[in-house]
């Protein structure tokens, strides 16, 4: 594939990426850290910064905390601090009327509304669709409304799920990636290997399947039932900003800096 990868300087600190309709969010959470920062900037501002083709010595994504960045970086960053939390930030979801944040506490996922952190619930928000959420609670998967009221149970033990026009692609607890219809009838197994992997939406016909063991990411077209190598690395975090821009964090090799990569 004819793609270009840009590496943005001063982004080593980013460990996770989230997004909503208006903003992109970055966290610095690490295991056992008691200071976990969620930062953000608008999508429009991010895209404006990409028009500058310089990547080295860029500071628009430098950490805004002056104890972690130089005064020059803090003065030039475009990031703002959304919040600082005691536990590892596992997810951030904005439904429009409610914002949910999830933490890992004692190897379990707890979720609450951002403005009500005293009422943590032991559940994981797997993803948000346009009209509902997909959650995991007590080892079962459900569709819920945006208030976390259960709509229906899903008869798969989900790790992840991606929605397409007429189908879902799911990743189950055995790490198999499966194409199913909207009634959850299995149509095709895309992979059967049980190694740790991640899946990401790319476009209406294609999904990325990234294998940690193989250190390789495949692009799979589930319409033509064909696959090819996308990149020779494992993508550990990714957000599709628009149809032409993919933000990723990947496993770096040979001691290279763990910078934010932008695939265009």
Quickly count: other Cβ atoms within 10 Å of residue 185's Cβ.
Answer: 7
List, in order, residues 6 or more apart from 114 with CB less than 8 Å away.
83, 99, 100, 101
Percent of the chain with pLDDT strictly greater than 70? 100
Q: What is the mean pLDDT of residues 172-187?
A: 96
pLDDT band at 224 (very low <50, low <70, confident <90, very high): very high
The residue-averaged pLDDT of 29-41 equals: 96
Residue among 98, 92, 128 nearest 16 (CA) = 92
Q: What is the pLDDT of residues 109-125, one digit of tens each?
A: 999 999 999 999 999 99
* Token pair for 140: 């079962």
- The stretch 239-261 carries a mean pLDDT of 91
Rounded Cα distance, 154 and 173, in Å: 13
Average pLDDT taken over every residue of the chain: 95
- 234 has a pLDDT exceeding 90: yes
* pTM exceeds 0.85: yes
For residues 165 and 179, the answer to whether their CB atoms sit within 8 Å is no
What would the pLDDT profile of 79-111 be if each residue is shown by its tens digit? 999 999 999 999 999 999 999 999 999 999 999
Check whether 52 has a pLDDT greater than 80: yes
Tell how many helices (H) and how many strands (E) occur in the chain. 2, 23
Is residue 3 predicted with pLDDT exceeding 90? no
Distance between CA atoms of 102 and 114, rounded to whole angstroms?
9
Using the predicted structure, report yes or no on whether residue 1 has a pLDDT greater than 70. no
Span 15-36, mean pLDDT? 96
pLDDT at residue number 264: 86
Strands 80-85 and 36-42: antiparallel
């Amino acid at each position: 594939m004819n793609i270009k990868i840009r590496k943005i300087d001063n982004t080593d600190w980013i460990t996770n990426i989230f997004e909503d309709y208006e903003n992109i969010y970055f966290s610095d959470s690490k295991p056992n850290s008691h200071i976990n920062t969620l930062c953000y900037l608008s999508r429009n501002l991010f895209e404006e910064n990409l028009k500058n083709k310089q990547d080295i010595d860029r500071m628009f994504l430098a950490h805004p905390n002056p104890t972690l960045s130089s005064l020059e970086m803090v003065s030039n960053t475009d990031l703002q601090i959304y919040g600082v939390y005691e536990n590892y930030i596992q997810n951030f979801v904005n439904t429009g009327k409610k914002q949910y944040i999830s933490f890992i506490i004692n190897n379990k996922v707890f979720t609450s509304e951002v403005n009500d952190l005293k009422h943590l619930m032991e559940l994981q928000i797997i993803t948000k669709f346009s009209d509902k959420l997909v959650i995991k609670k007590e080892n079962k998967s459900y569709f819920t409304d945006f208030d976390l009221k259960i709509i229906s149970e899903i008869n798969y033990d989900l790790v992840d799920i991606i929605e397409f026009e007429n189908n879902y692609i799911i990743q189950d607890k055995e790490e198999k990636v499966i194409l199913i219809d909207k009634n959850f009838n299995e149509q095709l197994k895309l992979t059967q290997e049980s190694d740790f992997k991640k899946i990401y939406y790319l476009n209406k016909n294609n999904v990325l399947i990234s294998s940690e063991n193989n250190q390789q990411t495949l692009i799979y077209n589930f319409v033509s039932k064909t696959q090819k190598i996308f990149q020779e690395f494992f993508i550990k975090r990714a957000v599709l900003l628009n149809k032409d821009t993919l933000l990723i964090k990947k496993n770096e090799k040979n001691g290279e800096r763990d910078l934010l990569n932008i695939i265009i």
